[in-house]
Amino acid sequence: MSVLNREKLKEDGSNYLDWIRTLRIILRYENKEYVLEEDVPILGENPAPEEVTAYNKHYDESTKVACLMLATMSSGLQKNFETWGAFDINQQLEEMFQEQARKERFKIVKSLMACKLQEGASVCTHVQKMKSYIDRLGNLGVELPKKLAIDMVLNLLLVHIRSSS
């Protein structure tokens, strides 16, 4: 909680990507990240006991996560979401701040594609830099297949080798 309280989510969403990344790390640690992606299920008539147990667990964890989210937002955002569940808050914030995420993705892809090995620099360090860009894209929801990511790194290294010859 203290990690998230360092900087509350601002009303303009300018720190949304950092805020959601930190929130997801904490929720992953607590095994509660799923409540951001899955809405609380609706119980039908005469649910089985295990369905009731799963519902109660999901509802309780969603409520706790929603409270954590609210506690780490600016007061203006809190007022908008104080009665919402974690799934709904997450969906709305993604919609509100998707433009920042799109810009961030574009910036990272541009940096990755422009990544050039400097003369005398370590190839290992260069590959790690490219991998960090690919990892950051993954954190923004851009999942590159592993083979494609490897091909991209190899291609960028090959471009450097050809331009050096």
Q: How confident is the model at residue 30 (pLDDT cuts 50, 70, 90)?
A: very high
Q: In the chain, how many domains are there?
A: 2
Do 10 and 61 belong to one domain? yes
SS3 string of 36-54? HHCCCCCCCCCCCHHHHHH
Classify burial at 162, counting beta carbons within 10 Å of its beta carbon; exposed 0-12, middle 13-18, buried 19 or more: exposed
Q: How confident is the model at residue 54 (pLDDT cuts 50, 70, 90)?
A: very high
Show the domain range for 137.
115-165
Do 87 and 10 belong to one domain? yes
Is the pLDDT at 40 greater than 60? The verdict is: yes
30, HSE (Cβ side, Cα atoms, 13 Å):
17
How far apart CA 89 and CA 81 sit, in angstroms, is: 7
Position 158 in a domain: yes
How far apart CA 4 and CA 27 sit, in angstroms, is: 11
Instruction: List pLDDT tens digits, range 111-163.
Output: 988 888 777 888 888 889 988 998 888 877 777 888 988 888 888 887 766 66
